[in-house]
Structure 1
């Protein structure tokens, strides 16, 4: 009988919990063990039965692989270094970061796979496996089946990213305030965790019988509760489109036929009305887009990630070329973590 394998789940933000916990479940289901390491917020939200390690503990743990949704991880941790991503490409600059820390990128669907594979072929120091995204495993199982009909009193999710150059929260504030007063629709408002406090306070003050401000760490929990989404240039809108429901965006950085994108505040209300009508041509575009970014509907992406690591190790656990030296980024990571010991354990 083989010994259980050890894996490390690495986070720098609280969102790592929602992305990596399905992977933890898959690791445990096959009789192996998972532990966590944080170099930022998140450790305080671990629950009983979840193991938190410090650097010395990681050294004793000797993980077979280290998984992270971020763009970096300590090069001196043992194990295969695996990127599982923190969101879909929302049209923001630099979705594709190749910083020389990873052995394996586990992509979410054909669109990203093509981009990353082209770079892997050219650079040779990392591999690519299309697996689907771990974060949405429970969600995909929960929404299996046909898109539900619009509620008698439709529910709208309003979500915005935090960057002033991309966020429409301040621009659309007066319209959300006006439309959340007449009772035609119910509203749930939620923002990126880094949204400026003054904007958050303004929207919280709008709460009434028709508008609720939600502070869920995992926005996916809100998706089954609503009939459509309003946003701007947030990666969460791509996650929402996997439900098959429409999204209205304001000046999206990469508009397409899967979105109802507007650039005038006066068009906000008519766009919502169109989204709630669910025209067939729009619904077909949404499905085509969803298949391009995440065609997997089985809720088993975490298992595919583990299988991809197994296959990488079976091939020898190495890529064609060595990783870049990355001295400056490695120094900054050591300083962040406070570890100045040897790189090889």
Structure 2
């Protein structure tokens, strides 16, 4: 098979890399498409890669793996949606945009919803595989945990706290928690990591960076991949962000602010105050440990670290009984939108 790993945002790198590793093991041919706007942050330059849609078009792929919401309809290949998060309550998560032939879902909650949409639209298929970004959760993390121990010793701390808000202006807690995070840092037993979405408003990024520069036990992180910080942190503070679900799958407590989730099995606060007390209370008594099990079962029950393998095997099997689509049949509106984006944002 010839495969395109399609990246429009830099969060795609950590999602697609486990798939790349499987492709290498199976000796499949692959190339990364890296949008020009994220070219500088691409971490795998030793792999075949391009920022040219023309080159991808001439590559004549059999499969395109895309964690984003869209992919050019005119590219050859089974256009496969693999998702960029687990927050099913977010606007647009279950919106059918016509770009995809196949949806590879993370768990029963998502599979059931997309199967209902399949019955309605009748122009795509659904296969449950698990989510590749989480494969690292279930593999050998000794190096990461050794790093955690070193960080705690270096900072004379006992607990690592991760603040990872969403970027959405209507949902983000960032404008409301600057002083609360500062107050939280008064507990020197805490080491606080700040990890923001790449689309976060630059005004708030700069304010939190300034806070970190002026506070010994607050660290602003620029790494693209949040996975390491999810693994080493003892508790997460967020809002309506898919990273909350990723964190819950590690069976650790979360605190959110005004989450719009329909499946809240963690402490959700409706006012932006008393963060110190709420964190202390949650660390001392985790009241949601049993409820988290239901989320793990519904959202991502796979703990074998083989979701990427299942995705590759799913498309291999699918193409044994289906022709490789040369292009996707979509509405004139979607076609026009695609061409505008190709001119402005792709290459």
Give the TM-score range, shorter chain.
Answer: 0.7 to 0.9
Aligned partner of 1:313 in structure 2 is: 319
Name the CA distance, whole Å, in 1 between partners of 2:246 and 2:221: 17
Question: Which segment is superposed worse, 327-336 or 105-114?
Answer: 327-336
Aligned partner of 2:27 in structure 1 is: 31
Name which of 326, 329, 337 aligns with 2:334.
329
1:49 aligns with 2:46: yes
Aligned partner of 1:20 in structure 2 is: 16
- 1:256 is displaced (CA, Å) by 4.1
Name the CA distance, whole Å, in 1 between partners of 2:264 and 2:281: 14
Name the CA distance, whole Å, in 2 between partners of 1:128 and 1:94: 17
> CA RMSD of the aligned region, Å?
2.6
Question: Which segment is superposed worse, 230-239 or 53-62?
Answer: 53-62
Name the CA distance, whole Å, in 2 between partners of 1:46 and 1:190: 18
Aligned partner of 2:90 in structure 1 is: 92
1:188 aligns with 2:185: no
Conserved? CA contact 1:83–1:104, under 8 Å: yes
Name the CA distance, whole Å, in 2 between partners of 1:71 and 1:169: 25
Aligned partner of 1:206 in structure 2 is: 211
Conserved? CA contact 2:80–2:104, under 8 Å: yes
Name the CA distance, whole Å, in 2 between partners of 1:91 and 1:110: 15
- 1:82 is displaced (CA, Å) by 0.4
Name the CA distance, whole Å, in 2 between partners of 1:212 and 1:82: 37
- 1:278 is displaced (CA, Å) by 4.3
TM-score, normalized by length of structure 2? Answer: 0.87
SS in 1 for 2:92: coil
Q: Extract unaligned runs of 5+ from structure 2.
A: none
Conserved? CA contact 2:15–2:84, under 8 Å: yes
**Cα distance change of structure 1 residues 230 and 282 upon mapping to structure 2, 3 Å threshold:** same
- 1:72 is displaced (CA, Å) by 1.2
Aligned partner of 1:238 in structure 2 is: 245
TM-score, normalized by length of structure 1? Answer: 0.88
How many pairs are equivalent?
Answer: 330
Aligned partner of 1:66 in structure 2 is: 64
Question: Which segment is superposed worse, 92-101 or 25-34?
Answer: 92-101
1:37-86 deviation line (CA, Å, top 9, x unaligned): 23453333243421124334324422111110111111111111100001
**Cα distance change of structure 1 residues 177 and 324 upon mapping to structure 2, 3 Å threshold:** same
Name which of 218, 235, 245 aligns with 2:225.
218
Question: Which segment is superposed worse, 45-54 or 284-293?
Answer: 45-54
Aligned partner of 1:342 in structure 2 is: none
**Cα distance change of structure 1 residues 55 and 171 upon mapping to structure 2, 3 Å threshold:** closer
